[in-house]
C-alpha cells in the first residue's frame, strides 16, 4: 500500500506565506495602552468559566471574535500543502467549500458550491457533516446522506465524492457511492496513522449511536470494523436517544493518541465532547486498548452564553506552532439543533500529554489570531 501521499491530518506539512486582510470585526492593536486594555478585557471574559490557555506572543497580535460562520454546524478544516485552509460545514441540501489563508477568516473568503444531491437515491437527502481530504493526488469529500424516500436513521450512510483535477473548485466531482459499513451511520472521519488508513463513524445500533473504527482498504472500502464504545455515562444520554457521534483523531505530543467524540444530541444544551485514548504503540482496532474519559472534556458555558459545543475537528496555526480546535455551538439555550455556528480557539497539552481544551469562549471575547499569519 502506497501511503507516502497521504495527508497529515493536523496540517503539519504546510507553511503558508501570506494572509488576507481582516474584516472590520477583527481588532488590531494600535497602541500599547489599547493592547493592555484588551488583555484586561480578555482576562475578565474568562472569569465565569475560566481558561488556562496561554495566548502570549512576542509581538502584539491581531484578534478575531467567534463565530467564524453564523451557519456553521459540523465544521471541518483541512490545511493543504498550498498554504490554504479548505473548510466545509453542513448545508443540508448541498456541499460547499471555503478556501482561505486563515481558517478564522471565512465570511469573505473564496467559496464554491461543488455538488448538489440527485433527486432520488441513497444520497438524495440530509447532506451532513462533510470532510474534505487530499491524498494520492486526488481530492475526496466524505459526507453523510440518506434517501429522500426514506429519510430515517436506518437509511443514513457515509458517501464519497472524488475530484482528480487538482482543484477542488473545479466542477468535476464524481459520485463514488456509499461506504459499505456494518451498520447504517453518519459522521465519517478518515485519517492516517503510522502508514495505515482508518475510517471512523457513528453507527446506529438499536436506539443508540456509538463509535466504530475500521481499516481502509481503498478510499471507499473498509475492513475489520471495531466498536470502540456505546453511551455509558449520563452526559452521553439524551432522551429519547443515547448518542456518540462526530469522531475525530488527534495525535498527542507524548505517547498517546485520541479519538475525540461528541456526546448527547445537537438539540441538547449539554451536548459536549468526550474522549477515548490509548498508547501510540497500541493496536487501534483492539477495543480493550482504549481508555475513556468519565467526564466531558469540553462542555457548555452558560455564563458565556455558549451552549452545546461539539462536533469538532483539529487543525494548526499557519506556522505549525499552535494546535486549534474548531467546533460548533449555540449562543442561546434551546431544544433545537438550529443556530449552530462555527467557532475556533487554541488548545494546549498538560504534562501527561493530555489535551487541555479549556472552556468555550464567549462571542464577546477577542481571541488572538493563529500564529504565523503574514501580510
The catalytic residue among 62, 74, 269, 369 is 74
Among 24-33, 130-139, 261-270, whose mean pLDDT is lowest?
Answer: 24-33
The catalytic residue among 245, 268, 299, 369 is 245
pLDDT, tens digit, for every residue of 281-307?
999 999 999 999 999 999 999 999 999
pLDDT, tens digit, for every residue of 229-241?
999 999 999 888 8
Instruction: Answer yes or no: is 27 within a domain.
Output: no
pLDDT category at 12 given cuts 50, 70, 90 is very low
pLDDT of residue 297: 99
Residue with cell 464504545: 229
Is it the case that residue 272 has pLDDT exceeding 50? Answer: yes
pLDDT of residue 374: 73
Q: What is the DSSP string of 72-114?
A: -SS-EEEE-TTS-EEEE---BS-EEEEEES-TT--TTSEEEEE
In whole angstroms, what is the distance from residue 179 CA to residue 273 CA? 26
Instruction: Answer yes or no: is 4 within a domain.
Output: no
Three-class secondary structure of residue 44 per DSSP? helix
Q: 180-193 b/e with 16+ CB inside 10 Å = b?
A: ebebbbbbbbbbbe
Residues listed for the chain? 375
Distances (CA, A) of 151 to 155, 238, 361: 7, 21, 35
Beta-bridge mates of residue 158: 144
Q: Sign of torsion, CA 342 344 350 353?
A: positive
In whole angstroms, what is the distance from residue 254 CA to residue 22 CA? 35
- Tally of domains within the chain: 1
In whole angstroms, what is the distance from residue 168 CA to residue 88 CA? 12
Q: Quote helix, strand, coil % in the chain, to nearest 5.
A: 5, 45, 50
Contact call for residues 142 and 158 (beta carbons, < 8 A): yes
Distances (CA, A) of 343 to 18, 27, 78, 266: 22, 17, 15, 15
Q: What is the DSSP string of 191-213?
A: EEETTEEEEEEEEEETTEE-EEE
In whole angstroms, what is the distance from residue 339 CA to residue 273 CA? 18
Three-class secondary structure of residue 115 per DSSP? strand
Phi, psi of 36, rounded to the nearest 5 degrees: -60, -45
Neighbours of 208 (CB within 10 A): 15
Which one has a higher pLDDT value, 42 or 236? 236
Contact call for residues 363 and 63 (beta carbons, < 8 A): no
Instruction: Answer yes or no: is 73 within a domain.
Output: yes
In whole angstroms, what is the distance from residue 361 CA to residue 343 CA? 9
Domain that holds residue 37: 32-368
pLDDT of residue 8: 38
CA atoms within 13 A on the CB side of 58: 2
Contact call for residues 306 and 360 (beta carbons, < 8 A): yes
pLDDT, tens digit, for every residue of 51-89?
444 544 456 779 999 999 999 999 999 999 999 999 999
CA nearest neighbour of 189 among 260, 292, 92: 260
pTM of the model: 0.85
Distances (CA, A) of 46 to 52, 241, 266: 9, 33, 25
Instruction: Answer yes or no: is 249 within a domain.
Output: yes
Instruction: Answer yes or no: is 209 within a domain.
Output: yes
Is it the case that residue 14 has pLDDT exceeding 90? Answer: no
Q: Across all residues in the chain, what is the average pLDDT?
A: 88
Give catalytic status of residue 236 as yes or no: no
Joined grid coordinates for residue 8: 497529515
Residue with cell 487543525: 315
pLDDT category at 321 given cuts 50, 70, 90 is very high
Is it the case that residue 16 has pLDDT exceeding 60? Answer: no
Instruction: Answer yes or no: is 5 within a domain.
Output: no
Instruction: Answer yes or no: is 10 within a domain.
Output: no
pLDDT, tens digit, for every residue of 190-226?
999 999 999 999 999 999 999 999 999 999 999 999 9
DSSP state of 360: P
Give catalytic status of residue 245 as yes or no: yes
Instruction: Answer yes or no: is 2 within a domain.
Output: no
In whole angstroms, what is the distance from residue 10 CA to residue 89 CA? 18
Three-class secondary structure of residue 287 per DSSP? helix
In whole angstroms, what is the distance from residue 46 CA to residue 225 CA? 42
pLDDT category at 171 given cuts 50, 70, 90 is confident
Task: Give the CATH number of the domain where residue 208 resides.
Answer: 2.115.10.20
Average the pLDDT over 94-98 and give the result. Answer: 98
Phi, psi of 41, rounded to the nearest 5 degrees: -60, -40
pLDDT category at 48 given cuts 50, 70, 90 is low
Amino acid at each position: 500500500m502506497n501511503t507516502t501521499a497521504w495527508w497529515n491530518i493536523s496540517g503539519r506539512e504546510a507553511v503558508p506565506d501570506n494572509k488576507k486582510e481582516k474584516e472590520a470585526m477583527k481588532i488590531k492593536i494600535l497602541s500599547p495602552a489599547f493592547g493592555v486594555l484588551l488583555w484586561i478585557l480578555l482576562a475578565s471574559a474568562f472569569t465565569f468559566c475560566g481558561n488556562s490557555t496561554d495566548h502570549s506572543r512576542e509581538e502584539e497580535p491581531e484578534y478575531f471574535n467567534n463565530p467564524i460562520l453564523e451557519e456553521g454546524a459540523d465544521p471541518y478544516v483541512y490545511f493543504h500543502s498550498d498554504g490554504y485552509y479548505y473548510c466545509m460545514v453542513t448545508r443540508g441540501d448541498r456541499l460547499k467549500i471555503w478556501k482561505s489563508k486563515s481558517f478564522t477568516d471565512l465570511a469573505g473568503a473564496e467559496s464554491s458550491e461543488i455538488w448538489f444531491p440527485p433527486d432520488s437515491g441513497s444520497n438524495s437527502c440530509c447532506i451532513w457533516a462533510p470532510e474534505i481530504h487530499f491524498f494520492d493526488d486526488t481530492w475526496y469529500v466524505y459526507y453523510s446522506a440518506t434517501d429522500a424516500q426514506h429519510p430515517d436513521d436506518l437509511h443514513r450512510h457515509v458517501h464519497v465524492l472524488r475530484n482528480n483535477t487538482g482543484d477542488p473548485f473545479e466542477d468535476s466531482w464524481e459520485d463514488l457511492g456509499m461506504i459499505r459499513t456494518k451498520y447504517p451511520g453518519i459522521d465519517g472521519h478518515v485519517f492516517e496513522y503510522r502508514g495505515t488508513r482508518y475510517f471512523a463513524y457513528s453507527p446506529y445500533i438499536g436506539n443508540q449511536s456509538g463509535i466504530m473504527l475500521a481499516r481502509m482498504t481503498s478510499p471507499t472500502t473498509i475492513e475489520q470494523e471495531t466498536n470502540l464504545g456505546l453511551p455509558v455515562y449520563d452526559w452521553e444520554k439524551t432522551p429519547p436517544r443515547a448518542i456518540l457521534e462526530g469522531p475525530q483523531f488527534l495525535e498527542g505530543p507524548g505517547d498517546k493518541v485520541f479519538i475525540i467524540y461528541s456526546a448527547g444530541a445537537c438539540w441538547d444544551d449539554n451536548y459536549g465532547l468526550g474522549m477515548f485514548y490509548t498508547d501510540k504503540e497500541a493496536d487501534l482496532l483492539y477495543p480493550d486498548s482504549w481508555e475513556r474519559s468519565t467526564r466531558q472534556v469540553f462542555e457548555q458555558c452558560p455564563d458565556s452564553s455558549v451552549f452545546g459545543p461539539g462536533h469538532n475537528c483539529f487543525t494548526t496555526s499557519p506556522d505549525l506552532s499552535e494546535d486549534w480546535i474548531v467546533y460548533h455551538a449555540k449562543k442561546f439555550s434551546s431544544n433545537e439543533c438550529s443556530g449552530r455556528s462555527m467557532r475556533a480557539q487554541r488548545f494546549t497539552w498538560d504534562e501527561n500529554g493530555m489535551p487541555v481544551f479549556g472552556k468555550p469562549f464567549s462571542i464577546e471575547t477577542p481571541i488572538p489570531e493563529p500564529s504565523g499569519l503574514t501580510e
